[in-house]
Structure 1
Amino acid sequence: MGVSETERQPSVVEPGLDPGWIARTVAVALDEDLGAAPGRDVTTQATVPADAVGAADLVARQSGTVAGLVVAQETLSQVADRFGLDAPQVTYVAQDGDDVERGQVLATITGPVQVLLTAERTLLNLASRASGVATATRAFARELAGTGATVLDTRKTTPGLRALEKYAVRAGGGTNKRMGLYDVAMVKDNHVVAAGSVAGAIAAVRATFPDVSIQVEADTTEQAIEALGAGADFLLLDNMPTPVLAATVRAVREREGRDGVPAHVDLEATGNLTLDRAREVALTGVDHLSVGALTHSAPILDLALDLRSS
């Protein structure tokens, strides 16, 4: 009753979500809604015959950027497997990363009505959440167009949904920063306190994990220059007023290619980066703006599943 990988993921933003991650996440979400597998939907299974077949439209109730449509087929297939029914088929009209209008049909789903109604909330929860993140990201990407700067996400994600939310950032036109604590070292003020100095923290990371890049957080121009001298690969410029940020960018650029400083140092602005301030910050010459709000504060994009009347 399963479906092939091609059928499951017809609309994917590269790099796509790991199918194994999708399957595990959907299973956990269904357990929450139905109870431990196989679970039950007491309303639907009491009121809808198991042999009833129908169609439903996945519809955008708001304009925005969609993401997470890629989870739909897996969600439907797992519900079908739990109930011993045929897996519905999804015909996609929109793709992850598309801008859509209110009222637009994103996909049509055909199959057992019990499966459609039981899978509805899990499917919508995941796709609406991802679409909200993609919509917020697209707004920043548009604001930064032509500046040379990109918008990045952070680790301020929903536990268990990081892969989905970072995928949604990519769908919205943003860039993933580090995926976790394991792939990039970020030396922050507490690490400096623990190590005794910026140079000590950098040296400790290089000795222990020589394969990772090292970013250092700086609150002032002086801290940024100190971090450069200590061997930082790139800098996180935190909560700087725009004039201070611009001065720091100039100071760093003047040192590039000299005294062991790389020819180009990636500079990332962060802290209090609202949409109305984004372009002003980008025009200081930073390479990136990291915005935690993309994932920790983005409202969902309202999506609905409308069963067609027979």
Structure 2
Amino acid sequence: MMQAILNSLILTAELGLITIGLTNSFAIARFANISHASLVLWGTYIAFALSVQFKLNLVLAIIIALLGAGLLAIALDMAVFKRLRERGAGGLILLVSSFALMILLRNLLKIIWGPGTHSFPSVLQKTYVIIGGGHITQFQILIIGVSFASMYGFHLLLTRTKLGRSMRAISDNEKLAQACGIHKEAIMNWVWLLAGILAALGGIFLGYTQQIHPRIGFNIILPAFAAAIAGGIGNPYGAMLGAALIAFSQNILLSIDWGGILSFLGLYSGSLYINPSYKYAISFIVMIIVLLIRPSGILRGRVGD
């Protein structure tokens, strides 16, 4: 159980970063950006290529990858989403367009790096720390620390800066914010930049705890959407809570011997564990249960068009 808790904290750290960027962009742009998965993917691969293939310093490689993913997010908006908004496209058209972009960018990446799997240097994962019988590497502890520090930094950005107040103003009442002199498109560039940076950081951390492959972005975007919706989509604080809920639900439910419970009820004999391949189903089951109890999510969420 302690190992499941530690794994949940690691997944919360990785998933939380990705979900915050996803839900914040929804709050401003008012559509579900599936191409957010591509920001996770490209940020991870750029960091891998620079640090492993080009032997660049790891910290410098990560910084370049974060900025690269942020600029990619801005480029996608300027090339596609902004043009569609100017033509009056609704949320559904933007969503379908983002799905097409995700497929395009994933296949472009496969042309460059191939469809196989890759790994970051394993030296960072060799030193283990034992906590209550569970094992965690020092780098995974660093992942948790950096992720939660980044989340707190995003909180400070929203509450203590002019940019953050402008983001919240547009999210709460776009027309009133623009009437007060807030330029939405300028704020949008910052929103996409931050979304790309957070997505890439979460993806890089995910790549260090798992193998890197072209589906890593798509695989994580499913629980990220589940976390955003369960927490209250469009609410960054709900994204944090939703990520924790999804992460702990997945790992705790997978660690339970359901055979023992069924045996106690006289319905089964022997051990019975949920197959790990069903973990994505767990994400959406938890999301549905939350929405049945609280339709707007744990914290009050928003709606698109």
Q: Output the TM-score relative to the length of structure 1.
A: 0.23
Which structure has the larger Rg?
Answer: 1
Give the structure with the higher percent strand. 1
Greater helix share, structure number: 2
* Structure-2-length-normalised TM-score: 0.23
